[in-house]
Structure 1
Amino acid sequence: MSSLYVILLVVIAAALMGVSLFRASLVKTKADYLVAGRSLPATVLVLTLLTSWIGAGSLFAGAENAYRNGFAALWQAGGGWLGLLLIYFIAPRARKFAQFTLPDLLEARYNQTARVLGTIAILFAYVGITSYQFKGGGNVLHLIFPETVSPELGTYIIAVFVIVSTALAGMSSVAYMDVAIGSLVTVICIISAPMLFVKAGGWTGLHATLPETHFQILGNLTFLRAMEFLVPTMLLMLGNQVMYQKFFSAKSEKDARISVIGWILGTVLLETLIVAIAVFGSALYQTGEVAKQPYEIIPYTARHGLPAFMGALLLSAVFAKVISTASNYLFSPATNLVNDVFVRYIAPDASHKRVLIISRLAVVVLGCWALYQAIYAQSILQKMLYAYTIYSAALTPVVLAAFYSKRVTAWSAVAAIGTGTVVTLAWDVPGVKDVFPQVIAQRDAIFPALIAAVAALIVVSLFTAPPSAEQLAKFS
């Protein structure tokens, strides 16, 4: 059986690297590298959006949530679904704006300071997200090769592969790798879920094995805790730079809007299947190694709960999915360093060749930073919530205000980004939460950071001059 896993992993890895090498040969300009020459059709957009969104956050953090709380874990996925409904209306506006990065948008609507602070917030959030993709992928390799590959070694292997494949061709590589991976994962999950449902004894077997709370709307969660899963996911979705870069890469505004419809349908289906597979696995494997590390439940169930070929396919699909999401979230902040720092402030007249070299170096540097975080991260779920919170509190309110508010000002955006970032980073510093009542101090940072950021956005807007008609015209 081990040889089957090796063969599939080698085939997938070779195919992904082949796509990167081929797309790299087509990259000639900055636009080719950063936004795939603005050439992506709706079909490619659907699969790359779906694949970039559903990675280790769903396959490991979401699965850990499902192992502990049952179907109530769908509160986390539901945040993305709500965000997608609103994105349907944002997508064509984003394509009409047609820049390279989210800080481009922040400067056009607000000012340079908002651009710089937005870049800093994105770096912290997206490198954090990349780090737990590396960690999740390392755990997958350890499950396949338990005696030869430790989780740490697996993390290093995944990191090197992702850094090299992403550095080669940028958005073009990322988008077209996603097409194959998104198709594979969706098909395998559709086939695997019913097989595991039957093996777990159907609804009768599941109810006999699992606590009744696993089948309730809130499960073991309080409503506030459910909101702490839903809100960061929803706000990350709404302000997600990876998503905006995909829309900037679309062939047209029509392609951008159409892609969201497919993305909604695919995300609801795939997120539900992932939670279901984790719940079925929790009924089958309640003790042993996976009980101590429940974020491994999906790859563990693939390894031990399915026929060899199907298990190998599911495990290989998880492996490919982690690589895809890591590539997306590594590439995105690298474009910030290049477009929003290097080209904007250091070498505005740099040639295309020089920009491409710096872009690839940025991928390598940020990849090493993400690898460092991955080695020292303890909980993938907690790392996910931390990364989502930085982005949700610091950036999403000002991004939404750019499209839907005519009164929010440049300096209120600066205040909101700075406040959201500082509160999130400071929340877990020893002694900081001691000044708050216990009912607030014991919570995650999302609501304190979000409330502080939105308050700054509103209050500073009231005391500063409104934006000019020229600034507003680009977002109408």
Structure 2
Amino acid sequence: MHALYVMGYIVLMLLIGLYFSRRKVHDDSDFIVAGRSLSTMVLTATLLATFVGSGSIVGGASFVFQYGPGAAIFFFAGIPVAALVIYFLLASKMRRSEATTIPGLIEARFGPTARTLASLIILLAYVGIVSYQFTGAGQALNLAFGLPVWQGVLISAAVMIGLATMGGLVSVAYTDYLSAVIILVSMLMAVPLVLTPLGGLDGLYNALPEVQQSLLGGLSPWQAMGYFLPLFLLILGDQNLFQRFAAARDPATARKAAMGLVIASIACTSLIVLLVCATRVLYPDITPSTSMMTLAQQGLPTVVGGFLLASIVALLLTTGNSYLLSASASLTQDILGGLFKIRIAPHRALLANRLTVVGLGILAWVLGAFFPSVLAMQMYSYGMYGAAITPVFLAALLWPRATPAGAVAAMVVGGLVTLVWEIVLGKPMGWNSVLVAMPLATLTMIFISLMKHPAHLAGATTTGNNG
């Protein structure tokens, strides 16, 4: 029965994508930034759905299952804290920018070399993020239909690529809106149904393993910070978020949506923590990454569980769409157009974006074979982005004294340290790479920028910021 809900929702998403591909997507501007037409409610919902995808439903659920509700605060706090920073400092600046990608904005401040390097790093990180959306959705289809996980991954990849190819950001935004509403409603209905038999919040807390009743759940303070920073830094400078603010009707709409994300993310992640902790008590021997999906299928009445499972699958699919679209924009605009100077005729730009979505989707599917778990790939991808891109992006918006040499050096240091720490050294002391890579990248940019800061740069940066 649950499978019918999932199948129905997937069909509905495909129909929405087909509708918008025919009615609303006429050029690459519609495809990439939805014609700059999104309202506050739709923008808030698509932001929530993008950042509460596999990262929260699968990777975050796995974390909560293993470490408990106290440690979950550190994992999930990155979303609302980053959204608050964006609300006060960045949202209006992002919307006023004429750029449609983060590398495009970086080039306005730091030149074409910085743009090329940023594009390559974003591709490396985003293809990894898309890959674990495939894996998470494959696990969900395995539970819903009894398919082997590898078949579920293939089907999920095909659906994500198809949706992103058809309607671009327009279809993704409106399917996100529907998914966000359904998952919030279904989780609100599910919480009392699972808490009541366990004796409420007190009963749930007392039933958890003793180590999970502590604030850090057995993690060291540095390990806890290592889980907070990747998501915080990713969202703070995420190209998906930048593109969505670029798609807002005006700067005021972008700023309201940032505050909407603060409120909605706190509500949504709190519900996820409660439901996963209940699953930990009810089904202690399951695979941690499947906890939300197991609860939907086995621990709830059919209607509530069916809607919850369908919306979980939908969130996984639409998050994958978002990162595919963003990676495609970087590939066509920043690498093909910026690095290789390939000029795509306006009437062919939409086709080029769609073809790159397909190619990057296939690459993400292949990459999934190299990481042992969703959580491992999540921390790698977030860490790569947060260390190598976010400091430079923030400097482009907020620090006039940053120089091109400092920006390029920061991206090189951030990217290389992430790769060495994660792959070559195997995460010494259990620390995620961002704890080391981000400070080193930031200090490198500050040191090199302050060593040599040409007098004419002040005028150039003012122009870049106003652009």
Give TM-score, length-normalised by structure 1.
0.93
Structure 2 CA distance for aligned equivalents of residues 473 and 381 of structure 1: 41
Equivalent residue for 1:175?
Answer: 173
Which among 283, 294, 310 is matched to residue 288 of structure 2?
A: 294
Measure how far apart 1:210 and its partner are.
1.4
Cα offsets for 1:266-307 (capped at 9, x unmatched): 0010011111110111011112xx1xx211111011111111
Q: Is the 8 A contact 1:342 1:348 kept in 2?
A: yes
Aligned to 1:275: 273
**Pairwise CA distance, 1:16:** 0.8
User: Mean Cα displacement is larger for which, 238-247 or 181-190?
Assistant: 181-190
Q: For residue 396 of structure 1, what is the aligned residue in structure 2?
A: 390
What corresponds to 1:77 in structure 2?
A: 76
Is 2:380 the partner of 1:386?
A: yes
Cα distance per residue 1:233-280 (max 9 Å; x no partner) = 111110111000001111101111111111111001001111111011
RMSD over equivalenced CA pairs, Å: 1.6
CA contact (8 A) 2:3 2:145 kept: no
What is the aligned partner in structure 2 of residue 423 from structure 1? 417
CA distance in 1, matches of 2:186, 2:21: 29
Q: Deviations over 1:39-85 (max 9, x none)?
A: 11112111111111110110111111111111021211012221111
- Greater Cα shift, 237-246 or 464-473: 464-473
State the partner residue of 2:10.
13
Distance 2:214 2:206 in 1: 15
For the pair 1:102 / 2:102, whether they are aligned, the reply is yes
Residue 473 of structure 1 is matched in structure 2 by: 463
2:220 is matched with 222
Task: Work out the CA distance in 2 between the residues paired with 1:97 and 1:474.
Answer: 9
Q: 8 Å contact 1:60–1:136 — kept in the other structure?
A: yes
Letter in 1 for 2:140: V
Please say if residues 91 and 247 of structure 1, whose CA atoms lie closer than 8 Å, have aligned partners that are also in contact.
Answer: yes
Cα distance in 1 between the residues matched to 2:63 and 2:407: 34
Q: How many Å separate the matches in 2 of 1:10 and 1:299?
A: 15
Aligned AA (1:454): T
**Aligned partners of 2:138 and 2:152 also within 8 Å:** yes
Whole-angstrom distance in 1 between the partners of 2:6 and 2:278: 25
Match of 2:241 in 1: 243
Which one of 455, 458, 476 corresponds to residue 446 of structure 2? Answer: 458
Aligned positions of 1:19-418 closer than 5 A: 19-25=16-22, 26-71=24-69, 72-88=71-87, 89-146=89-146, 149-287=147-285, 290=286, 293-346=287-340, 349-418=343-412
Q: Relative to structure 1, is the Cα distance of residues 215 and 98 closer, same or farther in structure 2, using a 3 angstrom cutoff? A: farther
In structure 2, what is the Cα distance between the partners aligned to 1:60 and 1:30?
A: 32
> Identity percentage over the alignment?
32
Contact 2:28 2:353 in 1 (8 A): no
Query: Residue 40 of structure 1: SS of its match in structure 2?
Result: coil
The superposition leaves residues 307-347 of structure 1 with CA deviations (integer Å, 9 ceiling, x where unpaired) of 11111111111011100111111111111011112233556
Give the residue type in structure 2 aligned to 1:456.
T
Post-superposition shift, 1:387? 0.4
Distance in structure 2 (CA, Å) of the matches to 1:442 and 1:150: 32
Deviation string 1:97-129 (CA, Å, 9 cap, x unpaired) is 132111110000111111011111111111111
SS of residue in 1 equivalent to 2:166: helix
Given residue 120 of structure 1, which amino acid in structure 2 is its aligned partner? L
Shift of 1:377: 2.8
Do 1:28 and 1:352's aligned partners in 2 also have CA atoms closer than 8 Å? no
Report the Cα distance in structure 2 between the residues aligned to 1:112 and 1:204, rounded to whole angstroms.
Answer: 57
Assess, with a 3 A threshold, how the Cα gap between structure 1 residues 259 and 203 changes in structure 2: closer, same or farther. closer
Q: CA deviation digits over 1:207-238, x for unaligned, max 9?
A: 44212332332221211111001111111110
Aligned partners of 2:142, 2:250: CA distance in 1, in Å?
43
Contact 2:38–2:249 (CA<8 Å) still a contact in 1?
yes
One-letter amino acid of the counterpart of residue 36, structure 1: A
- Which sits farther off after the overlay, 194-203 or 157-166? 194-203
For structure 1, which segment, 61-70 or 459-468, has the greater mean C-alpha deviation from structure 2 after superposition?
459-468
Mapped to 1, the partners of 2:343 and 2:150 lie a distance apart of 42
Distance 2:360 2:197 in 1: 43
Counterpart CA distance in 2 for 1:208 and 1:450 is: 38
Does the 8 Å CA contact 2:76/2:228 hold for their aligned counterparts? yes
Go from structure 1 to structure 2 and tell me whether the alpha carbon gap of 1:455 and 1:245 turns closer, same or farther (over 3 Å shift).
Answer: same
Distance 2:281 2:86 in 1: 36
SS state at 1:114 partner: helix
Structure 2 residue runs of 5 or longer lacking an equivalent are none
Question: 3-state SS of the aligned residue for 1:221?
Answer: coil
For the 8 Å contact 1:101–1:245, the answer to whether it is kept is yes
Q: Which amino acid aligns with 1:326?
A: G
Counterparts of 2:464 and 2:111, CA distance in 1? 14
Partner of 1:444: 432
Contact 2:400/2:458, CA 8 A, preserved across alignment: no
1:354-405 Cα deviation digits (max 9, x unpaired): 1111111110111011111224431111111000000000011111111211
Deviation larger for 194-203 or 390-399 = 194-203
